[in-house]
Structures are given as C-alpha cells and as structure tokens.
Amino acid sequence: MTSPTTTLTNGGAWLLEEPPSSIFTPEQLSDEHRLVAQTTDEFVTAEVLPNLDRLENKDWELARHLIHRCGELGLLGVDAPEEYGGLALDKTSSVVVAEHISRSASFAVTFGGQTNLCILPITMFGTEDQQRRYLPRLVTGDIIGAYALSESSSGSDALAARTRATKQPDGSWILSGEKMWISNGGFADLFIVFANVDGEKFTAFLVERTFPGFSSGNEEHKMGLHGSSTTPVVLQDVPVPATNVLGEIGRGHKVALNTLNFGRFKLGAMCVGGCRMMIAESARYGSQRKQFNQPIASFGAIKHKLGEMVARTYALESLVYRLAGVADGALADTAKSEKGGAVARAFEELAVESAIAKVFGSEVLSYVVDETVQIHGGNGFVSDYPAERHYRDARVNRIFEGTNEINRLLIPGMLVRRAVKGDLALIPAAKRLQDEVLSPSMPSLVDGDEALGAELRTIGAFKKVALMVLGTAMQTYGEKLTDQQEVLSFAADILIDTYAAESAVLRARQARLGGHHAADQHEAAARVYVDGAAARVEAVAKSALAAMADGDTLRTLLAALRRLLKVQPVNAVALRRQLADAATAAPGYIFS
Ligand SMILES: Cc1cc2nc3c(=O)[nH]c(=O)nc-3n(C[C@H](O)[C@H](O)[C@H](O)COP(=O)(O)OP(=O)(O)OC[C@H]3O[C@@H](n4cnc5c(N)ncnc54)[C@H](O)[C@@H]3O)c2cc1C
C-alpha cells in the first residue's frame, strides 16, 4: 500500500523551496487505508471505550487482552516485516492506526509502548536472530513490550543514564540500575533498556522480565492516563545474554533517537485523533446545552472556540499526513529486506519535521482540550463528563517523547547544524535575504487571484522571516547560538507555524482545484490558520530580533519585517463561524 507520489522535500528543505505542487492529504487515503481506519475505530468503539473504567482501575489483564486483540486484528504489525508476522504497510497506515487508536488516550499509550517503542526499534536495529525471537510474539500481542530510557536523574539528559552494563568473561552482560516512568512497566515482558558500558558507551539491551534480578516498582500516581501502567523498573545485577545487545555497543543513542524521531511523528498523529474526538464532543454538547433559551453553540463566543479548534486541528492533520506522504515517498523504492534500516534513515532525515509534529500536535491538543472543558462549563470540571479526563490525559504529551522545550531547541538547532555542514543551503539563502531586506524596493505582498494565492504568498513571507531570524542569530552568536535558548525557541515557533500553515494551505488548494465538495470549508480552515499564524509570527519575530539587535540595525530589520508581513487581514470571525456551524451540524470534525 503506497501513498500517491509526493514531492520529496526532506530534512528542512521546504524552508528554502517554493511550496511543492502536491502533498499527500487525508483526502487521498486509499480504500485500504480507510479499511484500516474502520477496523481500528470498530475495535476502539466495541472493546476499549466500554472498558475504560476497568483500565482506569488498572486491570492489566484486560490491557494485555486488548493488546492481544490488536494483534489478532493486525494492528500491531503495521510497521513490522512480513517474515515475522507483520504487515509492513506504509507509514500512512501507521498514522491512520495511531490517529484512530487514540480515542482512548490511556490505551493509546499502552499500544504505543508496544508498537512505537518496542516493535519499531527491534525492526529498525534488531539482528535477524533478535527479530526472529521477539517480533512474532510482539506482533501477535502474546508478549508486551516497553522502552526504558528515562531515569530519575536523567530525563531530558537521557544519555547521562546511570544504569551500568558490565561485560562478563563469556561475553554476556550484567545490568544494574533503576529506570523511571516506564510505560507498560507494570506488566510488560520485554524491555528495551539503555545502559552505559564502562560508564560511557551508551547501549541498548533487550531485557526479559523473567531474567533474574529484574523487577518493576509500584504504579505512579499520575495526573492522567490512569488506564496506562507507568512504573519504575529495577535492575539488580540482571544477566543479559551477549545476543541481546540491540544495535551496536556505544551506539545506543542511535536506537534511542531514531525511536524518538518516529515516536514524535506518531504522537502528532495521535493528537489529531484526540482533537477530532474533542471537537465532536464539544459540538454535540454545544448544540444540546441551552442557556438564555438558546443552544450555547449559537453564541459567537462559543463559535469562535469551535471554529478555532477546527482550524488548528485541520492544520495539524494536514501536517501529519503530508509528513506521512513524504516518508512513504522516501521509502517507496526500498527493498523489503532493507526496510528497517531505511525507516530509521528516513526519520533521521525527517527529525526536524517529526519534532514539529510532536510540539505542534501536543499544543494543538492542549488548546483543544482546554476549550472543550470551557465549552462544557461546570460539567467540564467534573468527572461525570469525559472532558475532565481528556484534559488530564492530554497534558503529558508536552512532556514525554522529549519535552516541548527540548524539541523546540532541536528544531532550529538541527537546521543550523545541517546548514553549517553544507547539507542545507540556509546560509546563502539568509545572505541573499539580507541583501533583499536592506533594499527599500523590496516588494510587499499583494493579493493574487489564484486559489489561496494570498495565503501562499504569506507563507513565502513566513519563510523569509524564519530565515531572517535564523540568519541574524547565526551571525550574532556564531558557535554560541546553542546558549541562546529563547531565540532558538522563537525561531522554532516561526518554523512550526510556517510548516503547519503551508501544509493547511496546500491541502485546501488541492481541495479547491480538485473540486472537492467541502472545498469552501477547507479554504476557511486554512485561511483562519494563516491569519492567526501571521499575527504570531510577527510578534515572535519582533521579540527575537529585539533580543539580537538594537539601534539602526533593529530599526532596519523591523521595517523589513513589516514590509514582509504586510498581509491583508481576512474576516476570520465569519470564517470561524462557518467552521463552527459546520461542526455543530455534523456534529463533529467535518474533514476526512
Ligand atoms: C506518563 C509518562 C510516561 C512515560 N513513559 C516513558 C517510557 O515509556 N519510557 C521512558 O524512557 N520514559 C518515559 N517517560 C519519561 C519522560 O520521557 C520524561 O519525563 C521526559 O523525557 C522529561 O524528563 P524529566 O521528567 O526528567 O524532566 P526534566 O528533564 O527534569 O525537565 C524538567 C523541565 O526542564 C526542562 N529542561 C530540561 N533540560 C533542559 C534544557 N537543556 N534546556 C531547557 N530546558 C530544559 C524541561 O523541558 C522541563 O520543562 C514517561 C513519563 C511520563 C510522565
């Protein structure tokens, strides 16, 4: 199953290029993709949602059973090779499953622990022997997997793990240490454990629960995700066979980071599913709940919320599927035997975009759950309604898979590193832009007559603003740029809004040019998103430039910024109302 061809703009190149002529969108999902979505949806509706209370009461036998059911339905093997029982489907299928499984946030974490954090690293880095020993049972759900990287003293600084691995004369290993916050920790059978060999060679090991000296601690008392297991894991002189080193000694960071690259992309997809569900619940509640003799959904203030929830979700969904298309394009010609390594390489190349999907997804979801609670009023604050649980469950997305602060630093950081290495022509582009912005004849934006032409030009301006901020930062701080976290985070915000806005506009444009029946709604969502992004990009760029320049230089840069972002505002109030009314009538998220 392969997605339609997509322009291959990998590894941040989109920042320097004209928008691609086409991107992969949910409207292009094949019948097989839709069948995967339907299978996942039916499973969640019939087997997970009716059992949420049991999961929240930590019925791990049920969690195991549900994972086993996912195995029977083929949902665990989407990314696994066929010779070990997997289906080796495309990454779009993987996104579809992630999106639809996430209607229960707790079960989605259990599922993600199995698939993204265990099956995938073994598929990407396992030897033939390791894949043969573990993948068939993981793919059927006969055994449960987990990923043990974090420790109490090393979360963001994960490579500073204290867990030690000591080589024995026969080539086997003894592992000692304690891991923290491990998803599926209470009942998993197989753990990917990261430890330092000789105190410095960070390495991944496959550790079975039955190995002597292995135990898991008590369940954490969490704010949310009560239906997923999170425990410490204790390794007391645990013997691990020589054949259970995953990847190479001293190359554990490759396993850890590539797993996270893919995991971040999938987290973005899971957030899409959460947002869609929340929009449906808010739209339903808004049309049923009456105040002042009217459904609250008829009030402009509520329409504003619903319309904005839809527009941001649309941008997120467009970004995630675009990325899935890029990944599938990159993997299309890969021989099956090469697939695991090729996936790792593809997502290493797409690390910037995956980090964007993670930060953007978790923050759109945060916004959407917060407004869901608000639309529910007092009922949003009590546990009789699901809004309260969604709100608590969503919060951790900004913390795990690399906190949003760390991911924000990575986004421009990785682009700058690529630029310095010469892999991305960012430096000459920033130089050209500098000459251009200093020229008083620089053209400002004008409306165009092509579909979403004005929005496309605005996005061109966003890219220039991103280059202006990054170029000024590189010039101002040189090698010390990594110390300037505030400026890097500002740059990340601009890059995130740019990629999201471009994805939304390209999708809406395709809907318009393809004569899609809901093209007006697509355009409304894209326009609302670009309108909000323009205000954010301008504010953030101002803050960044003011931190780096002063006097005449700052005045020149700010004048250039004003010229670049001279954007005709749209009537976003009317467009949000249009989106809100459509969501209320459905009721739900009307796209895809
Ligand atoms: C429910 C749940 C499930 C989890 N599942 C797993 C799992 O399955 N496997 C696993 O290995 N881990 C798991 N984790 C752990 C998770 O990945 C870590 O909590 C996360 O990486 C953050 O690490 P920390 O908690 O130590 O926070 P810290 O690293 O102490 O960060 C605290 C704050 O400081 C900021 N910060 C830290 N360093 C910097 C820096 N250099 N610059 C700027 N700001 C910085 C952070 O952004 C954050 O805001 C899970 C956590 C939770 C809550």
* Mutational test site, ligand 1, from 114, 150, 207, 398, max ligand atoms within 8 Å of CB: 150
DSSP 8-class letter at 480: G
The verdict on whether 401 is a catalytic residue reads yes
* 469-476 mean pLDDT: 94
pLDDT of residue 6: 37
- Enumerate the β-bridge partners of residue 183: 230
SS3 content of the chain, % helix, strand, coil (to 5): 65, 10, 25
Residue 9 is predicted with a pLDDT of 40
* Pocket test residue of 144, 253, 403 for ligand 1, highest count of atoms within 8 A of CB: 403
Tens digit of pLDDT for each residue in 319-350? Answer: 999 999 999 998 887 766 667 788 888 888 99
pLDDT 10s digits, 1-51: 333 333 344 578 899 988 998 999 999 999 999 999 999 999 999 999 999
- Rounded mean pLDDT, 143-159: 95
Tell me the C-alpha to C-alpha distance, in Å, between residue 99 and each of 61, 104, 219, 229, 327: 24, 10, 27, 21, 17
Average pLDDT, the chain: 93
Beta strands 164-167; 190-197: pairing state = parallel
What is the CB < 6 Å shell around ligand 1? 113, 147-150, 155-156, 181-183, 222, 225, 230, 396, 399-400, 403, 405-406, 485
Contacts of 250 (CB under 8 A, 6+ apart): 197, 200, 201, 202, 203
Give the range among 86-90, 172-176, 182-186, 237-241 with minimum mean pLDDT: 86-90
Please tell me the distance between residue 220's alpha carbon and the centre of ligand 1 in angstroms: 15
* pTM of the predicted protein model: 0.95
Catalytic, out of 353, 401, 455, 502 = 401
The candidate with the shortest Cα–Cα distance to 286, out of 377, 366, 381, 389, is 377
Q: Measured from the CA of 183, which atom of ligand 1 is nearest?
A: 8
